[in-house]
Chains A and B, each alone.
Chain A
């Protein structure tokens, strides 16, 4: 079903049907740890369905760091919450598509199976370390709780593991921190504790949703470095969500750029930074402050209202390279280079300029 529609759209966009997304994404040799297929999330509202994620597909390989960038409202956080099954159930949200993790479709798991998986095999680090720890319990208790819940070990063993984890996330004076309440810790330390909680059961995958956004810049770098080191030590995959391309460049192996609920460009990190193809990505890269840059480029216009998406390419109203055809048909993600996917009918832009 998915392949069929994708092929139709591809051919409509003027791309040869043989180059469908599914085939391109299987270029990588290793079997993916997580494979997301045509994930769609929409929220019913008074003005009808609001599509927050509109058909997102990607693979995350074992040990890989997969980055998702995009501005507010691009659907990156909703994607991560949908992966974890954390969106409000029932009529609050409509989720379609497949999330394959280690051979199981997470979307089809029963709630108690999902609970077993969450926190043990897939763990999450949140954006707001200041409010993501329970103020009523000590740091040690909160780390130990996860261990007890998922590994059914004694409280004593769990506390020992908690101490070990605090050491692993490089918290100063871990023995003392174990019995402290969250309000006594700084933002950076709390985020280290959140990471310790996430790592408690040695997850195969860590979803980090803007893990450094609430922290100041020096602490940001420390946390990213910590994540990079821990990824190696634990051999886990990371899905890193951020609006900060600088943060991304430090750690991500592969980056997907999201815009208005879709991936508009996806490539290896180095490739994306050296040779961005989508006008939106080019705009984002131009907006990174660097020494020597007198004036930062800005992308004119604003993110489209999800209630009323423009017809054709959603970026067309802001795009400096827009053509009449762009406003007719929404382009699909297609390869513009080896392992480089772009959803722009004018890409590669080198030929245009």
Chain B
């Protein structure tokens, strides 16, 4: 392998560490299982129109609130809609509600955190005081308040979740940038005559990413739950389109008579969130610098 690198000295040299990280990740069995579950759910969500046996929003009044059967594997809801199909289409909403807000939060917090942590000064003070104020409000409450301002709807809910997640990521990326910019190799880079801009993006940025990455996986799980909560409150996905949260919301009235109706979306949320958390742990362990030597 070393020989191959020598013969092509200009080949991108990043492959090795990635491979090492991936290799170590693969030795973490629960994380691999979690990743398989996530990939499966993602594939089901992508190919929902092919996989789902019924139209998720089409009512069938001849089959209302049925238990599981050969025709409807998970049963039907109070409008006779197939629960399995709704669960499959709901996966699209829930996964999207997990990934998009976190991506939004990352895109905004990384440059701001870098600026705040590396440059410091007045800007840092202002940003951090705003962050402190926002962090004082619980994530869910902040998301609910923002959705209330923006108005109900899936995309507004995702926007609200993303904005509500910014303080945590901003705090973290600022801390990470601050820690990295005190490292000896940053001073060495300064002694080498690099400009501040170059040091910030070339030297600080790549080294501040790992903790953010772990936090991102954990926040994806939280975002899914928050979206479910918002939908449950009627602030997220609008009926009749399904999301796991809105399915829970609709089934609560039948909790005593038809507990299975709320079991399916609950189970789906539980599985996905737990998988993401375990995968996040696996990634954290795999990227932990203490294992690097």
Contacts from A to B (Cβ < 8 Å): 84, 86, 112, 114-120, 123-124, 126, 128, 131-138, 140-141, 145-146, 149-150, 155-156, 159, 163, 175-176, 178-179, 181, 183, 194, 197
Contacts and interface: CB of A to CB of B under 8 A. Distances in A.
Contacts of A84: 191
A183 B188 CA distance: 17
A150 B207 CA distance: 24
A157 to B, nearest CB: 11
B17 A133 contact: no
Given A135-B289, A136-B206, A159-B10, A126 B193 contact: no
Contacts of B289: 135, 183
A200 B189 CA distance: 13
B22 to A, nearest CB: 15
A154 B289 CA distance: 33
Given A86-B191, A116-B193, 13 more contacts: A118-B193, A124-B188, A126-B184, A126-B188, A131-B184, A135-B207, A136-B203, A137-B206, A146-B192, A149-B193, A156-B10, A159-B9, A176-B5
A237 B143 CA distance: 62
B187 interface: yes
Given A86-B187, A131-B185, A119 B10 contact: no
Interface in B106-145: none
B194 interface: yes
A145 B194 CA distance: 10
Given A86-B191, A117-B193, A120-B193, A179 B13 contact: yes
A115 to B, nearest CB: 4
B70 interface: no
| Max count, chain A CB within 10 A of own CB: residue among B6, B184, B191, B206 | B191
Contacts of B206: 136-137
Contacts of A181: 16-17
B50 interface: no
27 contacts: A84-B191, A86-B187, A86-B191, A115-B194, A117-B193, A118-B192, A118-B193, A119-B191, A119-B193, A126-B188, A131-B184, A131-B185, A132-B185, A134-B203, A135-B289, A136-B203, A137-B206, A141-B13, A145-B202, A149-B198, A159-B10, A163-B9, A179-B5, A179-B16, A181-B16, A194-B188, A197-B192
Contact of B192 (A119, A131, A179, A183): A119
B2 interface: yes
Interface of B: 2, 5-6, 9-10, 13, 16-17, 183-185, 187-195, 198, 202-203, 206-207, 289, 292-293
Interface centre among A126, A132, A140, A159 (most CB of B within 10 A): A132
A171 to B, nearest CB: 14
Contacts of A117: 193
Contact of B193 (A115, A137, A159): A115
A348 to B, nearest CB: 39
A134 B185 contact: yes
A126 B187 contact: yes
A260 B6 CA distance: 51
B288 to A, nearest CB: 12
A328 to B, nearest CB: 41
Contacts of A134: 185, 189, 203, 207
B10 A155 contact: yes
A119 B183 CA distance: 18
A179 B161 CA distance: 42
Contacts of A197: 188, 192
A183 B195 CA distance: 25
A128 B182 CA distance: 13
Contacts of B191: 84, 86, 118-119, 123-124, 126
Contacts of B195: 112, 115
Nearest to B194: A149
